[in-house]
Amino acid sequence: MKRREFIKLALATTAAGTAATRASACPVSSRATGDLGVIVERASGSILIIESTGRTVLDRIEGLGDLSHASVVFSRNERFAYIFGRDGGLTKVDLINAVINRRVVQAGNSIGGAISDDGRLVAVANYEPGGVKLFDSASLAEVGEIAAEFGRDQRSKTVGIADAPGRRFLFSLYDGGEIWLVDCGMSGPPKVTKFGGVGSLPYDGLITRDGRYYLAGLFGEDGLVCLDLWADQPAPRRILAGYGKGEEKLPVYKMPHLRGWAQAGDRFLLPAVGRHEVLVVQAETFQEIGRVAVHGQPVFVMARPDGRHAWVNFAHPKNDVVQVIDSRSLAIQRELRPGPAVLHMEFTGRGHEVWLSVRDADRVDVYDTRTFAKLAELPARKPSGIFFTCRAHRTGF
């Protein structure tokens, strides 16, 4: 054998051996997680695992219980999805191997959850029994419960749960009219700080992307309440009080979701309860500076990640339309008609695409956010929530 041929054979053998060693040291599936996501199929108790680069469905996971109001958070490494079902189910799904890792039914009726900034605790907000339960994110072992007790022997539904920096959680007591801050950052039992007198029937909440402000919407009265977590002694402050005062009350077909709020530069764009309007709020002062008349009662008002546009979907019976608001001029930039019952919207990490669930057409549509052209359709069984793994690195998501 000639020397040159011998060297080639030796190099090829070495390369093959190295590849075999690497293969044996790594799992069979080596897919990256950065472009993965989950689509909730609410009617069948299942989810689709998708990847956004190729816009394809990778697998379906079934047996997840009642997903009629499901929400999802992700582990810090983006591998695991934690799914909160309306029946109290908490399910940990391995997105790489497409299997249920662990599942517990931890309450009778739950309304969402959050994961701590260090990724070690999962918190679930419950209607029945009223309160929040804490779980170890690795094992799903229960590590604590915070009963939402108020008045005399009463427990409140808990809503609007959000993670805050420093291994903390916030949530609102729907019946009790309070906001609670739970600090799990120190050894020993969690420290609970209660803020009373926030208003009537807080129905949902959000935390700003910098982790500073917690906002709770009020269903029992017009307005919101704001809590500044950077203050030495945080105290709830009413904002936008009476924004519908003196106007005819409209029936509320679906409660808007503040978690889908829009922060566009120095402005917040928020859905008005029961009105065909989006409220525009100055971010520094929380003063109303304008309103945008829209197609119907807004459910989600979601900003593209750069804040340039806000996308709005609507409650029944006008839920086949999506409108896009220019965040500076506040003009309606574009109106789309994807189909019946657009329930949810989700942007890719940098916002070049938006995915829309069109429940009554059994599909998910993908749009280019610059040209507004439809790029793809994915079949799905009565889809609702869409969640991408980039949420793992955002406060409040």
Across the beta sheet with 298-303, what order do the strands follow? 298-303, 309-314, 322-326, 332-336
Asked if 218 contacts 203 with a C-beta cutoff of 8 angstroms, the reply is yes
Q: What is the pLDDT of residues 204-248, one digit of tens each?
A: 888 988 899 999 988 888 788 999 999 999 999 998 887 765 566
In the chain, domain spans:
255-337
pLDDT at 51: 97
Confidence of residue 43 (pLDDT cuts 50, 70, 90): very high
Q: Which residue has the higher pLDDT, 23 or 30?
A: 30
CB-based contacts of 373, cutoff 8 Å, min separation 6:
367
The more confident residue out of 156 and 197 is: 156
Beta bridge partners of 218: 202
48-94 per-position pLDDT tens digit: 999 999 999 999 999 999 999 899 999 999 999 999 999 999 999 99
CATH number for region 255-337: 2.40.10.480
Element (H, E) at 89: strand 89-94
Residue 203: its pLDDT value, please?
Answer: 85
C-alpha 109/C-alpha 120 separation (Å) is: 23
pLDDT digits (tens, 9 = 90+) for 187-210: 889 999 999 989 999 988 889 888
Q: What is this structure's pTM?
A: 0.89
What's the pLDDT tens digit per position in 277-326?
Answer: 999 999 889 899 999 999 999 999 999 999 999 999 999 999 999 999 99
pLDDT digits (tens, 9 = 90+) for 94-128: 999 999 999 999 999 998 999 999 999 999 999 99
pLDDT score, position 352: 97
Q: Quick one: which of 190, 77, 179, 79 has its CA closest to 133?
A: 190
